[in-house]
Structure 1
């Protein structure tokens, strides 16, 4: 009997697979004795891989090295190597999985005691065939009543986890508020627990006797559907982009010809994909009442909630020359439902960073022009105002680039945390839209004041000869007029929206832009036959369109009825 068998029973603590600290384990190790001499004819018992367990008992230890990893494991326990490199232990007889090193004295007795207590609380008719128990000692240095054993049970038939006692997910599962939310039905609860099941499979993929081909086929179908959905619907709520789906599908096809020796690798990454997909389904209420099936769903309501009358916001938008309004709509679309889709945020932030860089370059150029104007004798007041605006634009651009660097906003979690922090309680994303366009507005004001100073200087120099001023104005206006006419001649539709350019898909299914109801509406119709679809746009404002798609005569009837 082990010495630890007489220790008091440790406290059972319910936990979740997501709380596994495998990625937070310290790299510092306790001091160990090392050697430099290799014994003659040193042979190893067996070469074990991620799929093959390593069984070390007193009967098959070869040599007397005395190393810790050659200490025999307790009966019925085997050691598995995860594809990522960490070890875990499995008891085939009892169906126990643990991350705690079973070679430590007393660990086996504590885990066996906890397993017996859990088993005694399970009803005989409630024990499924594919039942597995996860046990982990929180602090292996404190065994007994002072210690705690984390646990949960895994049901492979229902792809879920459960516990043997009632618990409150907000208090008994500390820190799980973002993982398992208060549920309104059993289906809602299962939707929240299924990602945890797949997280467990990802962390412990080597010991299952059979491979779940049904789950892999279902994953293939889900990825194909998500790929098509992302290609044809800008509002797709699938967590992966088209390119990512295609890459995953290629990997799945390449794994089909492999034998069972690679099953652990295959099971680990497919489980990771399933966990991500199931988390997305939980967020979007997949299969529940009132699900979110489109990224832009409810956008008009979200816009109206943020557009309260505010003198400060209106003044800020006016000083920024109205530019924040477009950025505000874009930000609201991206943050609708407070869900971050990185594939949509990344292009938007890349465009913003490009604007801020060009604004900084423009500010430097304008500073040089102000220096030239100073030498030429432009009034000091104009130069002072222009230089102040220019320096402010340069400074704000640098600050925005620093705050929105790729390193700081690298993941969806970083983006979500940042937007949640800067979002205004009363005005939503309107202050952020003003901040985003402030560098361009400052540069525009700098250019206006600089141009005003130059115009004042020129007019003051030409007061004695008005005909020369008229000549200069004419020589400036004619090239601008000719350039405008040339642009219209080369692109006759430049004044009208291109209904297909906004949507690269052959058959754009969903594309919506929402505007505040206070804007004046004017209707511009443009028609284009595209893959047997009649696509027409109703332009509510010069820079935004509401796209509707239809086909055949029904679309024409719909259009006539609308007009």
Structure 2
């Protein structure tokens, strides 16, 4: 919650003053509408014969156009100022100058000198004005009073050095928003950001758990773009490119605790305090009910959301894998429904078991279709939207247990259905074969299931060598005792 400033505002100033940040400039909140009309094109318009008279701006003011198309205005007076207020309106220009005079008087009263390195951002609001300063020499954002990070809507930090990382990100966002009038970036800055993305490229290629937020191919593309900027450093578009990537890197350094005592060195490393999961019995229950399928989904969801961070490529891979698994489960469930045709065609007595397995396969098919319908469009959402979604569905108490249960329903339901289906077939056998043949067939089926379990069970593979070694030792001991 942002608070109003405690600075003494002159009675001549219309409204109150409040601090803001580059996060909260309202840049992308413009809801104004335009109504194009037909206009007469004067003969020879926009030629050397007839160049229309430009709109008037007072001394020191220049009009700039951001690469995205948003106009803004820069004042090169004793105090450098930028604003997106439309200064071609006389009343707006007058109000901006009133605030500039106020800040110049305030800085003089505080004994603060202005320079070309200090720049003031002003945003006119209903009932007042929002502001912040940037220092181009230190590449930080600052204000004329002391505020907590919570007052300014900034994230929590663990040290003063991490706070500077946050303020540096705000600075680069400012340059990204107003790149056309500032001094060109230095070659040293270009080389530094190029080296950072080159490191990210190498890290992504050589590590499965790299913390860098872009894939190897994306890093390669960024390096190529940055290298092409070296020939046109005077261009404001080049300034915008460097500033945008520098702000991204600064944010990445904040979330990885770059330079802090406990830095995040791998994507799956948790460094933030998180209370232990309660009600573990629910997880155990769900694990047994879903044949441990829910455990796999919990592991995948936890891996994709370590410390509430989401990497876009890992989110995309997670949802893509889930959709493929749900589709396969739906296909198997549909095959299970077809296997029930003999029971519907014959006069089968145990209709309750048939209805149970039929219902389970049907629910498996339905759940796979619903989950695929919901999550297939979510494969291409960005990391921020994915993070917000996972933060919404994660329970503070149960974490992802219920989400994992929902994800595992297509597989778990058809497994339960196929567990009951062979029983139905075995009950059908005595109607057409002798009791002995039915018992033999049942025994053979159980034996095959036990063999399949032993082949695929990790527990059996782990215990078997130990069991063999136990009997070998027993045999050696008996042999030694006989010889004695």
Normalised-by-shorter TM-score class: 0.7 to 0.9
If each structure's helix is expressed as a fraction of its own residues, which one has the higher value?
A: 2
C-alpha displacement at 1:313, in angstroms?
A: 3.1
SS at structure 2 position matched to 1:406: helix
Q: Give per-residue Cα distances to partners, 1:63-117, cap 9 Å, x unaligned.
A: 57xxxxx431222211111111111111123421110111112222222221232
Structure 1 counterpart of 2:100: 115
Distance 2:432 2:355 in 1: 21
Separation in structure 2 between the aligned mates of residue 84 and residue 458 of structure 1, nearest angstrom: 74
Q: What is the CA-CA distance between 1:384 and the residue it aligns to?
A: 0.2
The CA deviation at 1:119 is 2.7
The 3-state SS of whatever aligns with 1:88 is strand
Determine whether 1:100 maps to 2:85: yes
C-alpha distance 435-63 of structure 1, shift in aligned 2 (>3 A): closer
CA–CA distance in structure 2, aligned partners of residues 406 and 35 of structure 1 = 42
1:196 aligned partner = 170
- Match of residue 268 from structure 2: 296
Shift of 1:407: 4.0
| Alignment partners' CA distance in 2, 1:467 and 1:238 | 62
Matches of 2:86 and 2:284, distance apart in 1: 63
Matched, 1:250 2:224: yes
The 2-side partners of 1:117 and 1:324 are apart by 62
- Give the match for residue 25 of structure 1: 30
Gaps of 5+ in 2: 1-10, 465-484
Q: Which residue of 1 aligns with 2:335?
A: 365
Q: 1:439 to 1:118 in 2, by over 3 A?
A: same
1:155 to 135, 144, 155: 135
Kept after mapping to 2: 8 A contact 1:306/1:430:
no
- The verdict on how the C-alpha distance between 1:95 and 1:471 changes in structure 2, with shifts beyond 3 A counting, is closer
Return the offset for 1:290.
Answer: 1.8
Q: Offset at 1:159?
A: 1.0
Question: Could you say what secondary structure the match of 1:216 adopts?
Answer: helix
Count, aligned residues: 449
* Distance (Å, rounded) in 2 between the aligned partners of 1:368 and 1:352: 24
CA contact (8 A) 2:337 2:361 kept: yes
Task: Give the 3 Å change call, closer, same or farther, for CA 319–15 of structure 1 in structure 2.
Answer: same
Separation of aligned partners in 1, 2:346 and 2:461 = 48
What residue is the counterpart of 1:446 in the other structure? 417
Q: 2:314 aligns with which of 331, 341, 344?
A: 344
State the secondary structure of the residue aligned to 1:149: strand
Contact persistence 1:76–1:92 (CA under 8 A)? yes
Quote the Cα distance in structure 1 between the aligned partners of 2:402 and 2:422: 29
TM-aligned CA deviation for residue 471 of structure 1: 12
Give matches, 1:12-411, under 5 Å: 12-29=17-34, 34-43=37-46, 62-63=51-52, 70-93=54-77, 94-122=79-107, 123-124=110-111, 127-139=114-126, 147-171=127-151, 173=152, 176=153, 180-258=154-232, 260=234, 263-298=235-270, 305-306=276-277, 308-310=279-281, 312-378=282-348, 379-407=350-378, 410-411=381-382
Question: Structure 1 pair 169/520, CA: closer, same or farther in 2 (3 Å)?
Answer: farther
Which stretches in structure 1 are left out of the alignment for 5+ residues?
1-5, 47-60, 65-69, 140-146, 489-493, 497-518, 525-563
The answer as to whether partners of 2:184 and 2:236 remain within 8 angstroms in 1 is: no
Tell me the TM-score normalized by structure 1: 0.71
